[in-house]
Structure 1
Amino acid sequence: MRGGEKVLEIFCELFPDADVFTLIHLQGTVSKIIENRNIQTSFLQRVPLVKRYYRSFLMLFPMAIEGFDMNAYDLVLSSSHCVAKGILTSSTTVHVCYCHTPMRYVWDQYHTYFGIGKKSLVSRVLIPPVAHYLRMWDVTSSARVDHFVANSHHVANRIKKYYKRSAEVIHPPVDCSFYTPQESYKEGNYYLLVSAFAPYKRIDVAIDAFERMGVPLILIGGGQEEVQIRKMAKKHVQCIGWQSSESLREYYRGCKALIFPGEEDFGIVPLEAQACGKPVIAFAKGGVLETVHGIYPPSSGSPEGKADIHPASPTGVFFTEQTPESLMDSVRFFERHQHLFDPQLIRKHAESFDRSLFKEKFKQYIEKQVC
């Protein structure tokens, strides 16, 4: 139940009789609200080993999404970070795409995922033509969407660049009724990182920084780089795998601050931490600039055009280079200036992204486009 699944859950609440289509469904991995729907899967569901190695079947994703028959529907709502927006609809169907990002594997994160030296010789020969095909399909299929909604201004800019389309921005939700501060504030003795273990998340930067500082860091998550991540974590960094929502909430409540070293399209995790009254130390790029009121340490400067480098009610600290040294400087700055971060004001900021607000905004948007 990551950000995309939490958005899907709200879509299921807004349209309680709607069918759900997905390439692959791993039963029991999402909430009951989603599991209880009529879920229809693509032919990939029957391919041996696909549930474990689904990334290896990326080239088949466009064919799989185009295999669904949408002719019976007046409205199709796609939640897309890869190929969902490429669904084929009839000429009378309204297709609204809630876009988490254009296909990051083949656009701005292509070299992070498939850079020279990261893959075998066979992969280096096969991946470039596959990626080229996927880029062409991704742009072509964007014309099938009637209305784009982006999850951040950062993503809206990508949609404009790659698809030449405009998109309304409706930020994803955080469940402020569930993610709440402790009744009596208590500062923990560790920092926290919650993430899928994917290349662009740059968890390696955080591990290197905290091992060198000798400061405790707890990693919650898992994924394709888990073996490498666990090898890097030694004396001061602890990997504890994915946790239940209840357990995750307790880790948020107990940490000093959340560490967020990647460039994200939006990022629900920083808002969950802030809903628990905890500040965020984040790389100053991507969607986090829309969710965190960050201070730029004097040594780091700030990105061009970013005027508010010392907000009146800060909810975090930014670092401007994706390096262990830059992160270490920001952690040390945070340690010296913890008095600047008010848990109540941090919580109040997160409430402006609450689940109920997202639900109402999206409902109004759909009514405007369809009615």
Structure 2
Amino acid sequence: MKVAIVHEWLDSYAGSERVLEQMLLCFPDAELFVLCDFLPEGQRGFLHGVVPHTSFLQRMPFARRMFRNYLQLMPIAIEQFEMRGFDLVLSSSHAVAKGVVTGPGTRHVSYIHSPMRYAWDLQGQYLRQSGSEGGLKGAYTRWLLHRLRLWDQASAARPDKLLANSRYIAERIRKTWRRDAEVLHPPVDVAGFPMGTGPRTHFAVASRQVPYKRVELVAEAFRRMPDLRLVVAGDGPSAPLVAKAAEGAPNIQVLGRVPQPRLVELVQTARAFVFAAEEDFGIALVEAQAAGTPLICYGRGGAADIVREGETGLLFAEQSVDSIVGAVRAFVAEENRFQPAACRSNAEDFSEEKFRERLKGAVAA
């Protein structure tokens, strides 16, 4: 079977690249197609020597630093890849990869990380962050996003099968594209977070500090619970807001960004991992479970797929300080119910090995 794998772009090793890595392990002889490849040499190991085919965007002016500015050209670029002769096309898509054009003799299975959020439900946020709310620039950007929505919905009909990385994303696919998708959770390196065996002394939150993560809510909640210790790891644009929420609270330790071994240690020794974001999936949650650590999470998004309510963690209903305080107090009252072995067992269902096995089954079905 001749296989092509289509991925949007390569500039770092992050969540979608973990999926690509497992796809390449499933199909080691596959050819790889990407819009552009600016991946640093030190991060290329997961490609196992595969040299990607790139599009004309690779050669556009200032593409290395500004390839995302060519968003309006990405649908055209993805449609220029020649897919004749392939039995299977496997795409990994959070923007345009699912729009690759295939012939009637080629099966196309697309793994969807998310529909194009900046063109749909996050359009307002995208316009604000890009400074495009008004004037001629705003009018052009709104017209561009309108055109992208039309293309996005039309191209969603091209894959023969859609795979969603969570039930939450499957719901968004149904709402946005009016198509059903089979849920296949993304791969998690559970081996990288061995189960902790020592004493558990604190609650932990570790994430990039950006507005939607709502880390400041967690810090503010623990200000109201001075008898419980919180350790916060991570940095980002919202770091000053988090620091302000923790200011003057001796029970809250804000570490900033920490090395990976220190992060693993923090999670292994935590009584629970607290998470207030609405995520598409939430790899950090599975990593915490792998370390044997229970979860206290906002109940929307991918967390609902991960937490076994009352067994490996608790879900709270609102992104609010009161809701977090209530969930933490409820956890403390019944902490013995949440056993590390059960958390670890839950995490193993999201392992890289399980992902490869399920991906092969979904492609064959």
User: Which of the five TM-score ranges fits, normalised by the shorter chain?
Assistant: 0.7 to 0.9
Q: Report the Cα offset of residue 98 of structure 1.
A: 0.9
| 1:4 and 2:16 correspond | yes
Change (3 A) 1:208 1:30: farther
**Structure 2 counterpart of 1:136:** 150
Q: Report the Cα offset of residue 220 of structure 1.
A: 2.8
Q: Report the Cα offset of residue 318 of structure 1.
A: 1.5
| 1:262 and 2:277 correspond | yes
| 1:96 and 2:105 correspond | no
Change (3 A) 1:74 1:23: same
Number of equivalences: 343
Indicate the RMSD between aligned Cα atoms, in angstroms.
Answer: 2.9
1:154-169 superposed matches below 5 A: 154-169=168-183
Separation in 2, partners of 1:58, 1:229: 29
Q: Report the Cα offset of residue 46 of structure 1.
A: 3.8
Q: Report the Cα offset of residue 272 of structure 1.
A: 1.1
Q: Any conservation in 2 of the 1:112–1:200 contact (CA below 8 Å)?
A: no
1:179 to 193, 206, 231: 193
Q: Report the Cα offset of residue 99 of structure 1.
A: 1.1
Q: Any conservation in 1 of the 2:273–2:288 contact (CA below 8 Å)?
A: yes
Separation in 2, partners of 1:117, 1:9: 31
Separation in 1, partners of 2:42, 2:257: 15
**Structure 2 counterpart of 1:347:** 344
- Alignment deviations for residues 256-284 of structure 1 (CA, whole Å, 9 cap, x no partner): 32222222222222111101101112111
Separation in 2, partners of 1:255, 1:136: 47
1:109 to 102, 111, 122: 122
Q: Any conservation in 1 of the 2:111–2:164 contact (CA below 8 Å)?
A: yes
Q: How much identity, in percent, do the aligned residues show?
A: 37
Amino acid at match of 1:290: D
Separation in 2, partners of 1:270, 1:171: 13
Q: Any conservation in 1 of the 2:202–2:230 contact (CA below 8 Å)?
A: yes
1:54-133 superposed matches below 5 A: 54-114=67-127, 121-122=134-135, 124-133=138-147
Q: Any conservation in 2 of the 1:267–1:287 contact (CA below 8 Å)?
A: yes
Amino acid at match of 2:243: A
1:279 to 279, 294, 297: 294
Q: Any conservation in 2 of the 1:5–1:30 contact (CA below 8 Å)?
A: no
Q: Report the Cα offset of residue 292 of structure 1.
A: 0.4
Change (3 A) 1:14 1:261: same
Q: Any conservation in 2 of the 1:9–1:31 contact (CA below 8 Å)?
A: no
- As a proportion of its length, which structure holds more strand? 2
Amino acid at match of 1:187: R
Return 5+ residue gaps in structure 1 as ranges: 295-310
Q: Report the Cα offset of residue 17 of structure 1.
A: 1.3
With normalisation by structure 2, the TM-score equals 0.82
With normalisation by structure 1, the TM-score equals 0.81
Return 5+ residue gaps in structure 2 as ranges: 1-12
**Structure 2 counterpart of 1:301:** none
Counterpart of 1:24 in 2: which secondary structure? strand
| 1:326 and 2:308 correspond | no
Separation in 2, partners of 1:170, 1:63: 28
**Structure 2 counterpart of 1:24:** 36
Separation in 2, partners of 1:248, 1:28: 25
Q: Any conservation in 2 of the 1:113–1:199 contact (CA below 8 Å)?
A: no
1:15 to 27, 51, 71: 27
Q: Report the Cα offset of residue 45 of structure 1.
A: 3.4
Q: Any conservation in 2 of the 1:217–1:237 contact (CA below 8 Å)?
A: yes
**Structure 1 counterpart of 2:239:** 229
Q: Report the Cα offset of residue 341 of structure 1.
A: 1.5
- Alignment deviations for residues 31-70 of structure 1 (CA, whole Å, 9 cap, x no partner): 6122522223333334455455554443333233223222
Deviates further, 108-117 or 335-344: 108-117
**Structure 2 counterpart of 1:240:** 256
**Structure 2 counterpart of 1:299:** none
Q: Report the Cα offset of residue 77 of structure 1.
A: 0.3
2:312 to 315, 318, 332: 315
